[in-house]
Amino acid sequence: MGPSVARARPSAWFWSVCLLLLLADQITKGLVRHHLAPGEFVALVGDHVGLRLILNSSSAFGLIRAPWLSLASGMAVLVVIPVYVARGVLGRHPRLAVPLALLFGGSLGNLVDRLRFRAVTDFIDFRVWPVFNIADAAITLGVAALAIFILRERPGAEDRPQTT
């Protein structure tokens, strides 16, 4: 397998995950908007897990009341990640393909909502956590996976003595 083939695979994974995530996010949001009234709760697992349509004009699970902050950070992600991918970061670090795709695809999914509806469609309700959507979950998982990657791959980490 030549170097160009090895570099193509992480890029293909990146764009495939982005596309699948965006489709899953937009399809589920569309179904929820079509079938539920705002605020309506449909129980899936007892009264603990269900669907509740929330049109969130704020950001970060509705916890930060600055929609401009969410829009600005989402736009930054949508600019920075493709630049890194185009510069070959996935060829050097193929394990970044999925975390970066989760961040990019999730940000894109929520941006589409903000542009179309001026609010993000949230619908997954665990009753003990703010209502969220597939894009929010992807962003959260992407950030966690990226943090783990950075902690494991930081320069000199393998040269440090192990403590027991």
> Which DSSP symbol is given to 162?
P
Q: Tell me the C-alpha distance between 53 and 121, whole Å.
A: 7
Q: Which of 25, 113, 122, 125 is catalytic?
A: 122
Known active-site residue 47: no
Q: Is 25:120 a contact under the CB 8 Å cutoff?
A: no
33: Cβ contacts below 8 Å, ≥ 6 apart: 53, 121
Q: Is 26:42 a contact under the CB 8 Å cutoff?
A: no
Known active-site residue 136: yes
Residues annotated as part of the active site: 122, 136
